């Protein structure tokens, strides 16, 4: 698929996906959602990719993704709105269940669907200039790409409902204090920090990373005893891999491991 609204690049084991509509502050229209879905499907199938960074192109105002494209939303009927929500939710589920860590480098406005994309990522790093919010209620919408489901467990029900019902944007420092982002960096340091984290993940055993993520994500919906059994099963599986033996051998020999993903 040829991309007009996103950029997809590779640097070794790390993929960089950039929403590239700077004239629209990287807002999500239907075409952009389709391109992002295609890109993340291709990344899911690419065993050589071990970490992904998601960010927004430089715009006239610093923007990660400044929400949905209002011109499209203004013309939708109930059926189209429901379909569009399913598409956005499907993209967010794809990101969350990619099997590799996805780092959101939130370099500016992350509003509405933009914040929902960031919530689907496993780690969120923010520029000090970032502003995050869910302004959908202001033009009489509600969040449609799963913010009502992902935000409360992350920041608490009270803070989530405040953001959802008032539409208030929070600063990067506020987002850090409430646990919405993992770290805040100066604008020039954001991408180097994301790249350093992705590079560190890329050097780790890919099967260990995948199974650890699976245990943590799946465990959220399981009772503790079932979650523990699930973790133990994956612990057993990863212990039977060639990568585990290579990792142990490299550790004992004080050298860098050469993981094959098997």
Q: Which residues are catalytic?
A: 116, 136
- Find all residues with CB under 8 Å of 44, minimum gap 6, and list them: 94, 98, 99
The tokens of 69 are what?
A: 């494209």
Q: Tokens 């990619």 correspond to what residue?
A: 98
Helices (H) and strands (E) in the chain, counts: 11, 10
d(CA 237, CA 161): 40
Strands in 63-66's sheet, in edge-to-edge order, are 63-66, 109-111, 131-133, 170-171
d(CA 47, CA 15): 12
The tokens of 105 are what?
A: 């480098």
Closest by alpha carbon to 105, among 124, 82, 129?
A: 124
**Residue 133, strand partner residues:** 111
**Residue 103, strand partner residues:** 53, 123
In whole angstroms, how far apart are CA 147 and each of 49, 58, 86, 104, 136?
27, 25, 13, 15, 11
């Amino acid at each position: 698929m040829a991309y007009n609204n996103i950029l997809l690049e590779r640097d070794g084991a790390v993929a960089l996906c950039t929403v590239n509509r700077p004239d629209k502050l990287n807002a999500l229209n239907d075409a952009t959602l389709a391109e992002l879905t295609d890109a993340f499907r291709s990344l899911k199938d690419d065993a050589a990719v071990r970490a992904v960074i998601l960010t927004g192109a430089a715009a006239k105002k610093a923007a990660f993704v400044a929400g949905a494209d209002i011109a499209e939303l203004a013309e939708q009927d109930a059926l189209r709105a429901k379909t569009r929500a399913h598409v956005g939710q499907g993209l967010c589920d794809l990101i969350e269940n990619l099997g590799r860590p996805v780092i959101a480098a939130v370099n500016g406005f992350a509003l509405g669907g933009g914040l929902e994309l960031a919530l689907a990522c496993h780690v969120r790093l923010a520029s000090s200039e970032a502003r995050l919010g869910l302004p959908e209620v202001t033009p009489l919408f509600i969040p449609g790409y799963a913010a009502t489901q992902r935000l409360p467990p992350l920041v608490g029900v009270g803070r989530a409902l405040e953001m959802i019902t008032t539409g208030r944007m929070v600063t990067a420092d506020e987002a850090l204090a409430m646990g919405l982002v993992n770290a805040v960096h100066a604008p020039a340091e954001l991408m180097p920090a994301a790249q350093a984290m992705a590079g560190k993940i890329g050097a780790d055993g890919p099967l260990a990373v995948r199974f650890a993520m699976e245990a943590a994500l799946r465990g959220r919906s399981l009772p503790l005893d079932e979650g523990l059994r699930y973790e133990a099963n994956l612990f057993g599986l990863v212990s039977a891999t060639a990568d585990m033996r290579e990792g142990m051998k490299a550790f004992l020999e004080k050298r860098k491991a050469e993981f094959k993903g098997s």
